[in-house]
Amino acid sequence: MTFNDENSHREFKLKAPVTATDAAALLDTLRQKFSPKTERQTRSSPTDAAGALMDQLTMLRPFSLASEEEMTRYNRGCKDYLNALESYYKEWPQHENVRRRTLPLNLTLWNRGTLRADDIDVILHVPDGMAVYDEESRPRFPREPQPPEGPKIGARNAGARD
């Protein structure tokens, strides 16, 4: 057997394994990003010209224009999302490490001779500790939960200001 570059062997570089610490760090980042939002949280304190400008720009943010009901819906969605992420990231290192160590193996047989090949045997040695899967039996991984849709800006709130 030879590969496209005519070598008889192939080396693969695998990504470093992930740990529970990596999962916790990712989850913490997402917890911060999807923490409950309020209109008050999104506004700055105009203590100087830059702060006053930020306060004006804040009026363009969806969080400052969304209705209370829409913020409640969004915050509930964030809570559900974070709960789903906790479950997902609890198992994530195990699944991700399997994914990082799974490589496709596609074999093609070429007959470079002039006669038809009728009796072909292919023998592959797979070292202990490795597994070979076909497409139907390959490991399936859980899908990462999707974040909630951001707050919708209602027409009645579009021009609301303090």
Q: What is the pLDDT of residues 4-15, one digit of tens each?
A: 777 777 788 889
Distance CA 112, CA 13 (A): 31
Helix (H) or strand (E) holding 143: none
Q: What is the pLDDT of residues 109-140, one digit of tens each?
A: 888 889 998 888 888 888 898 888 888 998 88
* Cα radius of gyration (the chain): 27
Distance CA 24, CA 90 (A): 8
Distance CA 162, CA 145 (A): 36
Global model pTM greater than 0.85: no
